[in-house]
Amino acid sequence: MNILVPLKLVPDLVEELTLNAEGNDLDRDALIYNLNEFDDQALEEALLLKEQTGATVIAIALDTPEIDQVLFTAIAKGADRAVKVTGDLEPGIDNHVAARVLAGALQQLEADLVLCGVQAPDDLDGQLGVVLAGALGWPHVSVVSGVELDGGSRAVRCHQEYAGGVMAGLETDLPAVLGVQAAHQPPRYAAVSRIRQMMKERTIDEIAGGDGVADTPPLRVRRLYKPESTGHAQMLDGDVGKQVEELVALLAGRGLVKAGA
C-alpha cells in the first residue's frame, strides 16, 4: 500500500509580513518559510500507519525554493521515498492549481491513500484535499483526527470532530484523500545530523507535472491590506486602589457595570 503525503512550505507567521510593490501578494523574497503544521500532522499519521501495517510512505511536494530540505526531513523521519513535482511552478501557487498538478503526479505513483494537511495558514481555504479528490475521482473526508486501515477490505476508517467535541466515525473505500487536522501523536523530531545524513545517502525523485498549470486558471488576488489599528490600550497609573477606581469608572461609562456596584 502506498500512502502519499503532499508537503508545502508556508510563511512563518512569527516574522513581520510585508506586501509586494503591487500590493496583491506578500513580498516573498523577504519571507522565512516553515513546513505547514497540518502537513506535518499528516506526515506523522502516515508514518504511524506505516509502523502498524507496513505501508510505504511517499512524501511529495511541488518544486519550490527550499523544498528539498523539507523532503529530506521527511525521509529522516521515516518516509520511504521523496518526490518533487517539477514544472513552471511559481511560489504562492494556489490550491486549485496545486491540486491539478499533484493529481497528474499521483496517477504515476499508484497511490492508495493520500493524507494532506486540512489547511494552511497562507490561504485557510482547506481546498487542496477537496479539489485533489475531485480531480482524481476519489472519495474525500476532511478535518480528520485519526486514521485506521483495514487491509482486508481495502477500506479506511477515520474520526472527524464536530462542534462541541462530538466525534464521528466514518469509513470509505480506497483509494481516498483525507484532510488531516491532527495525528494520533505529536509529529516526531528529526535531528539535524540525521537530515544531513539523508542528504548524502538518499536522493529525491522528480516527476514532470507542470502541464496542469495551463489547464487550471489561477485565483487572482486584486489587493491585500494590512490590518489598521483603530485604537490603543489605555494604561492605568497609580496605586492599586486608584487603578481600580479608574477601571470601574471606565466600565461604568461604557455601560458595562453600574456605578457604585
What are the C-alpha distances in Å from 175 to residues 57, 118, 154, 184?
Answer: 15, 18, 8, 21
The model carries a pTM of 0.81
190-220 residues labelled b (16+ CB within 10 A) or e (exposed) = beeeebeebbeeeebeebebeebbeebeeee
What local confidence, expressed as pLDDT, does residue 215 receive? 58
Query: Residue 241 has what pLDDT?
Result: 87
Given this model, what pLDDT does residue 152 score? 64
**How many beta carbons lie within 10 A of that of residue 65, not counting itself?**
11
Reference 114, options 97, 135, 93; nearest CA is: 135
**Residue 6, all three cell numbers:** 503532499
Please, what is the Cα angle at 198 between 187 and 46, to 5 degrees? 30
Q: Is 93 left (phi over 0), alpha (psi -120 to 50) or beta?
A: beta
Amino acid 212: pLDDT: 53
Residue owning grid cell 496605586: 239
Residue type, 134: G
Helix (H) or strand (E) segment spanning residue 57? strand 56-62
pLDDT at 150 (0 to 100): 75
Residues with pLDDT less than 50, the chain? none
pLDDT tens across 84-104, in order?
Answer: 998 877 767 788 888 888 998
The predicted structure's pLDDT at residue 80: 96
Cα torsion 216, 219, 220, 224 to 10°: value is -160
